[in-house]
């Protein structure tokens, strides 16, 4: 299969659709209202505790701009939140290229929208494994799958999408888009992509190091093995 070679992109991309799912919710009280102030037409997609937090921030105004991911995709979350964002429609919105006619045809066919910004940070895996008495099953249950996938997809497509993994960057982003008609530049998106891959690399390393320290006997103690 041949790989797409992109030859044409936009420097400035207006932030119209934002996908948010964060473990660290610090800064959302400022970020969400600021994004709406800059672009009153902006739309947010979210899940679980982040969805509830945004609803709490926006109160009555949430109905106009906040959509549960399950409503957007048409797929309910699985029990325990096991599968929430791993959906074809989500990844079309993250990975499609602006000037690729085939991609745009897929977007139209599925009634998907371009996701311009992803605000995601991951379960605190290191905090989980540092707790006294933690088992490998506790650790396994706290391995985030959808989060790293969204981060990696948006970071790969920095040509069009802004991956935001660090609340410390919120003010920088708001400052830039205020001065640029609600848009982020390629320079900003590329900077955010670098941080995004650092974030997922550190996360995966923590998991690999933890699992590498566990004995098979310790793993077996967690389960009734048939």
Over the stretch 29-82, which tens digit does the pLDDT of each residue have?
A: 999 999 999 999 999 999 889 999 999 999 999 999 999 999 998 776 665 555
Q: Is 93 left (phi over 0), alpha (psi -120 to 50) or beta?
A: alpha
Q: Quick one: angle between helices 146-156 and 186-212, nearest 10?
A: 150
Q: Which residue has the higher pLDDT, 155 or 70?
A: 155
pTM of the complete model:
0.92
Supply the pLDDT for residue 22.
95
The pLDDT of residue 83? 60
Q: Residues near 9 by Cβ (< 8 Å), separated by ≥ 6?
A: 97, 98, 99, 159, 160, 186
CATH superfamily of 13-220: Methylglyoxal synthase-like domain (3.40.50.1380)
Contact between residue 162 and residue 189 where contact means Cβ atoms under 8 Å apart: yes
Q: Which ranges constitute the DSSP H helices of the chain?
A: 28-38, 48-58, 62-65, 69-73, 88-95, 101-110, 125-129, 136-141, 146-156, 170-179, 186-212, 216-220
What is the share, in percent, of the chain residues with pLDDT greater than 70?
A: 95
Q: Is 15 helix (H, G, I), strand (E, B) or coil?
A: coil
């Amino acid at each position: 299969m041949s790989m797409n070679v992109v030859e044409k992109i936009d420097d400035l991309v207006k932030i119209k659709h934002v996908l948010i799912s964060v473990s660290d919710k610090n800064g959302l009280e400022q970020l969400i209202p600021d994004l709406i102030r800059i672009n009153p037409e902006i739309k947010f997609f979210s899940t679980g505790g982040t969805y509830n937090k945004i609803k709490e921030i926006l109160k009555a105004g949430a109905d106009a701009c906040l959509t549960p991911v399950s409503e957007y995709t048409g797929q309910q979350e699985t029990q325990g939140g096991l599968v929430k964002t791993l959906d074809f429609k989500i990844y079309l919105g993250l990975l499609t290229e602006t000037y690729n006619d085939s991609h745009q045809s897929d977007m139209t066919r599925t009634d998907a929208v371009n996701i311009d910004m992803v605000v995601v940070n991951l379960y605190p895996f290191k905090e989980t494994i540092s707790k006294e008495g933690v088992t490998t099953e506790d650790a396994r249950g706290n391995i985030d799958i959808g989060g790293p996938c969204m981060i990696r997809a948006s970071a790969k497509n920095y040509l069009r999408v802004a991956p935001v993994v660090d609340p410390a960057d919120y003010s920088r982003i708001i400052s830039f888009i205020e001065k640029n008609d609600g848009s982020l530049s390629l320079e900003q998106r590329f900077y955010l992509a670098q941080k995004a891959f650092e974030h997922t690399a550190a996360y995966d390393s923590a998991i690999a190091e933890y699992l590498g320290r566990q004995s098979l006997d310790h793993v077996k103690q967690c389960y009734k093995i048939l």
